[in-house]
Structure 1
Amino acid sequence: MKREATSKRWPWVLLSLVVLACSGVLAVPAAWAVKIQVQADSGEPAPDAAVAVYLLRLSSGDSSGLRRVLAAERRDDLFDQWGAYRAEMSRSGNPPSKLESGPLQVNHVRDGAALVATEVHAVWWQDRLSLVGDRHAWRFEVRKDWGGWRVWRVEAPAWCGDYIRASRC
């Protein structure tokens, strides 16, 4: 009789061990995925870091990672503004190889808001030569929300007219 009870319990014990093992194996990747998502949505640790990501994405033309540094309330408008600027750069017929910025100057940090200013110039590579355009002032308003800094407003000079002669656009 004792042997019969043990043989009926054996499948349940085995099933319990399998479930326990699988839950541990699945819990680690699930926890990692949640952690990565939280980090991806947390903004940047400093105002100038958020601006640096914005400018890097603009220079490369790759929007991946851009939305996480844009303020949630204005994300769609800022994303559209970014896309329109990239489109204007491309329409000029000779888009730059990259954009470079000077030092990012963080000013007026208070109450979860900061102003970041820099000068940006375009660089064109042709063969082994590079042509560097004029520097123009850019200004950003950056705000802290959900634990990270995000771009709230961008004041950029017009691509056509400031960086490129309007006749070439």
Structure 2
Amino acid sequence: MPASWAVRKQLEAERGEATPEAAATVWLLKLSADEEIGLSRVLAAPRHDELRQQWSDYRDEMNGSRRPPSKLESVGPSVIEHQGDDRATVAEQVRAVWWDGPNILAGSDHQWRWELRRDDGGWRVWSVELPPWCGGHVRVDVCG
């Protein structure tokens, strides 16, 4: 019984998300929390390594600035465009937030865009268009 439970849990862990928006949200939350565990489940297999590297590089750029954000947050509703043939795009306005003692400082909103595809397990990220971190979400003088 334990072996079958472990196999079932592994399959569940590798499953994509039920909706395109959910897959994009998982990707964003993992980036915001600097947590790679669970990221693979929302990355499309044919582009897995490239997408993981893009995620890691962007996180490194965020952490390399003099003031890494406390979190990233979506602002307003997601715009979801179903393109048929198990493809969709999700666009969201995202901003960085810094907690500075009792104050909360919010950066300006920037559009982020995910292309998603559905496979047997669910929706997964196929590509991500991100604004530059330095000179985009934060001033250049705040970067490394």
Question: What is aligned with 1:150?
Answer: 124
SS in 1 for 2:135: helix
Q: Is the 8 A contact 2:67 2:142 kept in 1?
A: no
AA in 1 matched with 2:114: F
The 5-angstrom pairing of residues 26-45 of structure 1 reads 28-45=1-18
Q: CA RMSD in A?
A: 1.0
Determine the structure 1 residue equivalent to 2:39.
66
- Aligned-partner residue type, residue 94 of structure 2: V
Could you state the TM-score of these two structures normalised by the residue count of structure 1? 0.81
Aligned residues: 142
Letter in 2 for 1:108: H
User: Runs of at least 4 residues of structure 1 off by over 6 A?
Assistant: none
1:97 aligned to which of 70, 82, 88? 70
**Counterpart-to-counterpart distance in 1, 2:121 and 2:59:** 29
Q: Which has the higher contact order (CA 8 A, sep 6+)?
A: 2
- Distance in 2 (CA, whole Å) between partners of 1:149 and 1:108 is 12
Deviations 1:43-92 (A, max 9, x none): 11111110010000000001110011000000100000001101111111
Q: TM-score, normalised by structure 2?
A: 0.95
1:133 alignment partner, one of 100, 107, 113: 107
Bigger Cα Rg:
1
Q: Percent identity?
A: 52
In proportion to residue count, which structure has more strand? 2
* Stretches of structure 2 lacking an aligned partner (at least 5 in a row): none
